[in-house]
Structures are given as C-alpha cells and as structure tokens.
Structure 1
Amino acid sequence: MAETPSAHSPYPPSYYAASRNIVRESKALEGDVTADICVVGAGYSGLSSAISLAEHGFSVIVVEAAEVGWGASGRNGGQIVNGLNASLETIQRRYGDTTAAFFGTLLQEGAGIIYDRVERYGIQCDLKRGNIYAAYTPKHMDELRAKQALWRQHGMDDHELLDRAQIRKHIGSDVYEGGMIDHSGGHMHPLNLALGEAAAFESLGGTIFEHSPVTKVEQDATGATVTTAKGRVRAKTAIVCGNAYLGNVVPELTSRIMPVSTQMMATEPLGEDRAKALLPTDMCVEDVRYILDYFRLSADHRLIFGGGVVYGGTDPADVVAKLRPNLDKVFPQLKDVKIDYAWSGNFALSFSRVPQLGRLGQNIYFAHGDSGHGVTGTHLFGRILGEAVRGDMTRFDTFAKLPWIRFPGGRMFRAQYSTLGSWWYALRDKLGI
C-alpha cells in the first residue's frame, strides 16, 4: 500500500532526517483562520508558491499533513538537475516548435531560484555546483551529444562532453563510456533546503500549520475553504501541492498521477581521502538509463546512492538488497562498506512525463506530476503559480493548456501497466539498444 502521511507521521529514518540542522517547533491548525492564500503541502512546490506570494505582500498560510519536507522534498537524491523527465526533443515532437521554445526558456530557471533563495535567505544546505550525466554505451553518448546541441539551440551552453578518460577524472569508476557535465546543475541537502525555505517564508510573515492533514478542499463564488480534522482555513485562493502524498483529498486530481517509489541509502562516513577518490570534483551523478542510478557525496563524506522504482508507491521489503548490487557494480571498492541509512520516498508520475499545472473552478490551483525531476521543477512551478494568483496567467496558461493523459488500466491497473513498460525499457538498457 502506498504511504500516506498523517498527523503523527515522523520523518522517515533517512540520513537527511538524522542530519537536519533545524528542528522546528511545529503547531497544528485548530479553529478557523483566514488568509489571502492557503497552500496545501509544505514541500518544495508549496513552499515555493508561498514564498513567491509572501514576497509580494500576500498573507499566506501553509497547511501540512506531517512536517515540513516530510515527503519527496526531504527524501530525494538532493540533485539539482535541469530539465523535465520528458526531454526537450520529446516536447518538440509532441507539441511543436512554439511550445518547445517556451520550455527552452524555463529549463534552468528552477535551479536559479534555488541558488538565489539559498543566498538571499542564508539557507545552510551544503550547496555544491555541477552535475554529471553518465553514459554506459556509445548510444548513450550519442543521446548526450544530441541533448547538448538541442539545448544550445535554445541558448543554453553549460554542458561539457566527457570521453572515457575525462569522466574518470570525475568518477572513480571504470563502468562508464563517457558523460556530460551540466555546470549549471548541482546538489544539496534536500531536507535542510526545505526547512530553510520554511524559515524564509515565516520570516516574510507566513504561517505554517503542521500535523494538520487536509480532509477536503472546497470553493464557492468568493473563495476557497481548506478543512482539516481540527480547523479550517478560509482564503481567496487555495493552491494544492500535495503531489504523490495528496491521496484522494481532491478527487478530481487522483487519476492524473501515480505515486512511484524510489530508494536511497547512505554509507558510513568514508573519510575525506576515500570520498575524494570516488568523486574527485564533488559533483553529483546520474546515469542516462531509463531506470537509473544516482549518487553524490554528503558534507560528512558519505556516499548517498539511489535508484530503482516501484510503481504504485509501495516500499521494497529490503532497500539495501535492492540497491547494493548497483552500488557494487559502480564502485566495487565499496563492497565491504557499511550502510548506515536506507529509505524510500514517493514522487508523482504523470503518464506524459510532463508536469501538470491547472485550475479547478476559479479559486483552486494545483501543480503536480514532476515525474522524478521535481527539485528544480517544483521551485519553478511554485513561481508560476504565484504569477497566476497575482493575475499574470501567461506562463500558467501555457502549461494548463497542455493535454494530460490518463494511465491505461485506470487506478486499479496503472501500476501493473507501468511496470510492464519499465521492464521493456530496462531490457533495452541492458541490451544497449
């Protein structure tokens, strides 16, 4: 069964929860309160929306079922990877040159928002620059060359191709054919980023109610009402940012996405010399397979290694058993290293792999379906939601007009269908085709 947050949900036993640098004094919503805007969900999407609006003088309340960053925002790989799950090439093929040109203006904006807010609000989240796409095969290298060329056509020239010898200077492994650096990408401690953004929002006069699961979101001609077990928020506008953990709170959104679980683990501290031998330039890495591995170093010299998917959002019985063979393949020198932490988290997958922004009626906005590329996307879409609420619908409408597709098989069989598809793509990865 997919994980569902409740008022009593503690942070999962992750490295991030154990090393967070802010322990909040949380408060639950009790009674009736009012605001200009009520945001549902205190992850990146909700916090980004809330900050964008609070910076423009709106009174904003955020309501969270568990705690700030409890979901994907506090469990992810910590990688600032530009772009969407659906490639710019795919978007161009599906939706045409005009839409592709629009997306081309957005692909690096989310990362820029993160860098700006970390500096502006003094957020301590171990931020580093640079991410590497790692290629296993010559075909993968052809894909990276095409990506570099296409992004250059849209004015982005931060990508540096690496051959087999060059990538070895960045990754202490012999498994890769080559790769590509995105110098505008990076990595950080994701939960500390979320907690720092929450503090930034509160410094602007915003309010966050935690341990307050939302039971329904309603609207009428004059505004929206967000109801929890012990209270209500009455606002002019509601913004729904529950993503993979929204459940059936807003039934109209349930069939649009599917929760998908991904897994991570963190080694024991390796020491500076051993860690530097693995990743000499301290960039984060993800390979370019359909079902990929991703990894980076923490500030205290652990290797954080993730990968794998489980459609439907269920957790594997043994995360370490699932990930350890992949870790040993990339870094056989770590075969006897102890794993200190292992955890899972869900992201929201859309069938098209393109995020969805939209509006229900006049007073409820939503954003979801980042499909595994949510660190940058959520920050961007929070800004676009803020623009829409303030009356500038230009970018919001472009997203809202994109068609969305139901998962084949409906809610009951969507996970099975997606699993079959993933087997096919995993076979293609294995065969190098």
Structure 2
Amino acid sequence: MDGGTASLARPLSGGTDHAPSYYAATANPAPDRPALDGETEVDICVVGAGYSGLSTALHLAEKGHRVTVLEGARVGWGASGRNGGQIVNGLNAGLHVFRRRFGEDVARFVADLLLEGGDIIRDRVARYDIECDLRHGNVFAALNTRHLDDLRAKRDLWAEYGLDNLEMLDRARMRDHAATDLYCGGMIDHRGGHLHPLNLALGEAAAIERLGGTIHESTPAISVETGGARPVIRTPGGVVTARTLVLCGNAYLGNLVPGLAKRIMPVSTQVMATEPLGEAQARALMPAGTCVEDVRYILDYYRMSADHRLLFGGGTVYGGTDPKDIKRKLVRSMDRVFPQLRNTRIDHAWSGNFALSFTRVPQLGRIGSNTYFAHGYSGHGVSGSHLFGRILSEAIHGDLGRFDTFAGLPWLPFPGGQGFRVPYSVLGSWWYALRDRLGA
C-alpha cells in the first residue's frame, strides 16, 4: 500500500466517555490521562488504545522500546471495552478455509498461532496482576445435528495439527454449561475462557506506563502523513513525529487512511446485563462457570459475571449503527435460551462495533516502510488482537518472519465496494440465517 496523507472523515460517535455498559460501571480505578499538547518526536507511536494497540505497545515496551499511545477517547473505549468478554481461540475464518485457499503450509502456520492469543492474555493477567475476573473454558452450543457435525469436523481437523483442547459434549453434558433444552450438544474448548474486558485493557495500559510508555487520552488522530521518512500524526492539540507508526483503530479508524477503510466494514453487536441473580440461580443456569456461544451465523453468546449477572449478547447491524431498542432485541433471545429468566430486570444494555473483513481473515500490513496496521478480526478480536499485537511488535523489533507470512496473504474487497457492502452482507446474513432455521 502506498504512503501518503489522509485525514479523519468524522469524529468518534458517542462521545469520549465509555459506553454505559456493565463493564464501565464496574471498572477498576484508572487515572485520567492528559491529551497531547504541543509538538513532540517519539520512537514509536501507536494510534488506538484498544487491545491491538495495547498489545503492540506492551510487547514493544517489554523489548525496551519507548512507546507513545494516542487514544481518541479513553483506554478500552471501543470494542475492547464493550465486547462479550469471551476468549475464543482461533480466527473467524476456520482452519479448513486457510488450507483450502492458501495450502497446507499456510494452514500449518496458522494452526501454530490459534492458541497463542489466549496464552498471551493469561500471561499478561498473571505477570502484571491484572484483576479482570479471568475464568477458564468456553463452549460452542449446537442447535441441530448439522451444527454438531460441523463442530466434530473442527475438533478432528484441529487434532490433525496437534491441537487437543477441543472436546465434544452430548446433550446431558451440555446442560452442565447451560441449563436449557435448546441445545442438542456442543463442544468445549478447555483453553478458552472469559473475563472483564475493560479491566483487562485498563490493566494492560497500566503495565505499559509502568514500563515507561506514555498514553494520551482524548487525543484523536485527525490526519496522518505516511509518505515521508518519518510519519507525522496531527491531533487537535499537537503534532507527533515518529520513527514508526502503528495504526490500531480497527472499526473506529474511520477514513483516517482511506486505503484501510475500504478493507473492512464496521458491524455493531449488542450486549446486556441482567440484575444480580444471586449465586444459587447463577450456578443453576450455568453450573460449570464457562462462557457459551452458539454456532449459528447470527449467534447468541453469554456468560455469568463475577457478581452473578447474566451477560447476554448477540445480533449484528452491518454498517455499525445502533438498534433503537437493545433490550427488546436481546431479551427475546435470552428468554428463548433461559425461559426461567422471563421478566428479569435488565440493568445495562449497550452496543459497540467490530471490524469485519470480507473473507473473515484478519489483516495486518505495512504502508510504506514505517507504518504498520492490524484490523478486521471479524468478531474474534479478544484473542486475535493480542496475537497480532505480538506479531506487529516482532516486525518492528526486526523479526519479520511471521509478519511477512500473514501480511502476504491476499485480501478481497467487499463486492460492490463500500457503497454496496452493507446490503450485500444483509442479504448474505438472511441466507445463512435461513439455513440455520432449516438445519441445512
């Protein structure tokens, strides 16, 4: 991708305060970090204090680099502080997709990466003593025999590459994870898990600062110049000149770099939190304490919080707009899974965007010689962003092996470009939703 100058087309939607989520209401204390004021020269500048940016910055700080992070709102303001909190190993595009499209060598390369993101998270939590309610195990729920066949095929394929963390569940064992009659079985990933996502982001930010890094909040990048010897980032209050620039805005990067904007599409998903259910009811509904997602194209995902609330998410809105009534949209799905919770009070409901790539393969790459980017995790960003942050840090530190392999994979634009990507995706979702209903 060629270097050049680009500017932000629109400001952040929803202001700079955290979304009115359960996570924001239960966040660990964090300092207010001052906005950038004036001109400065830095070694490495990371745009975006979500998981991709924080992971990259923390890995670089651990290697001895001086890193400055610019965040348009607050640390974890975007998807990293709003998501379902599930550590789902792997990438949205399945291992079979990589093998079919790119061959055996790429499939083996990707297989070696599938568990790394979750391992990085667990290492960060332990090393920096991050309090984020980390728990182990995530479960994929099947509503019909086709779903079970697909899960079994995934387990068998992963086993071919030496990955033995997946185990099938029959109907009875599935009820240990979700006390509902909706599912005919499922599969547990023993290396998955769940956590408080905003507290993870806040803990990683604190670790960066502990290692000498700097974070500026309320500092959106309004333009970047990537064509010169050193990238230049302009903000409302100052200018940063960097030796290396890393763009980690993902679904909230806007048109800061038009060449990146056309590669992805923002998609909103919604989450809500019930009133506290009490320990007894929480254990009765989800005895094993894992998190669950079903395997439909438009899926439900849920888990219990540390204070015994059901956190329930699902649905998508292509283009990244928020539905008018989040609670109404999600309550019907929750009641379908757990009719025992009908008429339960909902205390929090919120929405946020993730970045979807057309192929569901996340992308990383370089603009010119000294500007890097990563985005497009397509709903698998909790683990994927931590993995890609490490790979970006390796490249910046001088080891381009894994970076070049992934950056060399071809990407495809959405059919019809940015103007048609939303209706195209809506039509596709209707088709796949119909297949799910028919069990085809």
User: Secondary structure at the residue paired with 1:223?
Assistant: coil
**Which amino acid in the other structure matches residue 410 of structure 1?**
G
Select which of 217, 233, 237 maps to 2:240.
233
The residue number in structure 1 matching 2:419 is 412
Q: Deviations over 1:370-429 (max 9, x none)?
A: 000000000000000000001111100111111111111211221111001000001101
The residue number in structure 2 matching 1:271 is 278
Please tell me whether residue 128 in structure 1 is matched to residue 135 in structure 2: yes
Question: Are the structure 2 counterparts of residues 366 and 95 from structure 1 closer, same or farther at C-alpha, using a change threshold of 3 Å?
Answer: same
Select which of 43, 46, 53 maps to 2:50.
43
Question: Are the structure 2 counterparts of residues 186 and 153 from structure 1 closer, same or farther at C-alpha, using a change threshold of 3 Å?
Answer: same
Select which of 371, 390, 402 maps to 2:397.
390
Q: CA deviation at 1:155?
A: 1.2
The residue number in structure 2 matching 1:101 is 108
Please tell me whether residue 197 in structure 1 is matched to residue 208 in structure 2: no
The residue number in structure 1 matching 2:5 is none
The residue number in structure 1 matching 2:4 is none
Q: CA deviation at 1:343?
A: 0.4
**1:3–1:314 contact (8 Å) kept in structure 2:** no
Select which of 109, 118, 121 maps to 2:125.
118
Distance 1:60 1:149 in 2: 42
Q: Stretches of 4+ moved more than 3 A in 1?
A: none
**Which amino acid in the other structure matches residue 135 of structure 1?**
A
Please tell me whether residue 154 in structure 1 is matched to residue 161 in structure 2: yes
The residue number in structure 1 matching 2:372 is 365
**1:261–1:313 contact (8 Å) kept in structure 2:** yes
Q: CA deviation at 1:8?
A: 4.7
**Which amino acid in the other structure matches residue 267 of structure 2?**
V
Equivalent residue runs for 1:287-302 within 5 Å: 287-302=294-309
Q: CA deviation at 1:328?
A: 0.4
User: Secondary structure at the residue paired with 2:317?
Assistant: strand
**Which amino acid in the other structure matches residue 363 of structure 2?**
Q
Select which of 206, 215, 222 maps to 2:222.
215
Q: CA deviation at 1:3?
A: 9.2
**1:22–1:192 contact (8 Å) kept in structure 2:** no
**Which amino acid in the other structure matches residue 416 of structure 1?**
P
Q: Deviations over 1:244-290 (max 9, x none)?
A: 00001112111000000001000000000000011101000000111
The residue number in structure 2 matching 1:281 is 288
TM-score, with structure 2 as normaliser = 0.97
Question: Are the structure 2 counterparts of residues 121 and 3 from structure 1 closer, same or farther at C-alpha, using a change threshold of 3 Å?
Answer: farther
Q: CA deviation at 1:221?
A: 4.5
Q: CA deviation at 1:153?
A: 1.1
**Which amino acid in the other structure matches residue 83 of structure 2?**
N
**2:266–2:356 contact (8 Å) kept in structure 1:** yes
Select which of 134, 159, 163 maps to 2:170.
163
Distance 1:23 1:206 in 2: 16
**2:10–2:254 contact (8 Å) kept in structure 1:** no
- How many residue pairs get aligned? The number is 432
User: Secondary structure at the residue paired with 2:222?
Assistant: strand
Q: CA deviation at 1:182?
A: 0.4
User: Secondary structure at the residue paired with 1:113?
Assistant: helix
Select which of 353, 367, 381 maps to 1:346.
353
**Which amino acid in the other structure matches residue 163 of structure 1?**
D
Please tell me whether residue 24 in structure 1 is matched to residue 31 in structure 2: yes
Question: Are the structure 2 counterparts of residues 283 and 176 from structure 1 closer, same or farther at C-alpha, using a change threshold of 3 Å?
Answer: same
**1:225–1:232 contact (8 Å) kept in structure 2:** yes
Percent identity between matched residues is 63
The residue number in structure 1 matching 2:3 is none
Distance 1:366 1:275 in 2: 41
Select which of 66, 80, 105 maps to 2:73.
66
Distance 1:8 1:225 in 2: 25
Q: RMSD of aligned C-alpha atoms?
A: 1.3
